[in-house]
Amino acid sequence: MKITIIYNHYFAKMPRDTYEQMRLIAPKATFFEAHYDTVTARDLIDSEVIFGPPPRHMLKELENLKWLHLTSAGADSMTDCTLYANPNIILTKSSGSFGVPIAEHVVGMMLSLGQGFGHYFEKQREAKWAQTWQGESVDIYNSTVFVLGLGDIGTEVCRRLSCFGANLVGFRYDISKPHEIVSDVRPMSELSRSLPEADYIVICLPGTADTKGLLGRDEFALMKKRMIIVNIGRGSIIDTDALVDALNLGQILGAGLDVTDPEPLPDGHPLFTAKNVLITPHVSAASPSTNDRRIAVFMDLLKHYADDKPLPNQVSFDKGY
């Protein structure tokens, strides 16, 4: 069994002793390292397992590939079955690796936008002592926070916000199971009618056909003027033009975006200069410990694969996540 590890700017090289640990799990495995920018189809042609992001256009040539493990929690770019030579491909993702740093990123955005830190930073750069914040502060304490998506990332967000004393409302498609932190869990079908309640909305949903354009002009019209939205899910979930207008017209107070549509956001895009927006370039998972957790997820899946057991973290091609 050949296992190929593909690195890119987002996935740093594994420590050498990791390979020794993998050999203990799969003694007959051989390992090959490549980088996304230089890998060729010939490098991958005899791979049974790939850990990392292969170029999409090569997948149709990889007839020996049985299992592809993504280094991301999102899988929307890889859920088109026609991409693969093997119709029975197993696709898994690194869910469970990113909740901690992304949740901290979310809290940072909420504090910055809710307390007007951006305004004060600009005054600091101008070397001015100016108590001139004209916006309305929004405390996290006792605020109503909607968390859309209660997977690993959404749960870690809730864990931290509960310590701030926020009133948490979770939204998910399947509400059959109780959540460990949030007692008020509602189906996604109730989101629109619930929107006037929210002080903050945190989007932790995957990018799928069901979530595309979930929040647009009609939804922004229902929100409080002091509402702040944070999106660390996928940019396609929000209608970008509608968001720009909602910010500039004062329909909502602010937005924190680690993902955008389009992405990357082109230079000069009007979202950059919209009122009270904080944009980070899809880096909320960046943490020294993220790589360690990502590797640990793969190691656990490799044990299942070597023992011919069903793999956790499988992506549903029908659902898109």
Just list the catalytic residues.
282
Asked if 73 and 282 touch (Cβ cutoff 8 Å), the reply is no
Task: Report how far residue 236's alpha carbon sits from residue 209's, in angstroms, rounded to the nearest whole number.
Answer: 10
Give me the phi and psi of 29, to 5 degrees please.
-75, 145
Secondary structure, 3-state, 149-216 = CCCHHHHHHHHHHHHCCCEEEEEECCCCCCCCCCCEEEEHHHHHHHHHHCCEEEECCCCCCCCCCCEC
Helix (H) or strand (E) holding 22: helix 16-25
Burial of 209 (0-12, 13-18, 19+ CB in 10 A): exposed
Distance between alpha carbon 162 and the CA centroid of its chain, in Å? 21
316: left (phi over 0), alpha (psi -120 to 50) or beta: beta
Task: Report how far residue 305's alpha carbon sits from residue 303's, in angstroms, rounded to the nearest whole number.
Answer: 5
If we measure between CA atoms, which residue out of 259, 260, 267 comes closest to residue 284? 259
Q: Among all chains, which residue has been given the structure tokens 């967000």?
A: 157
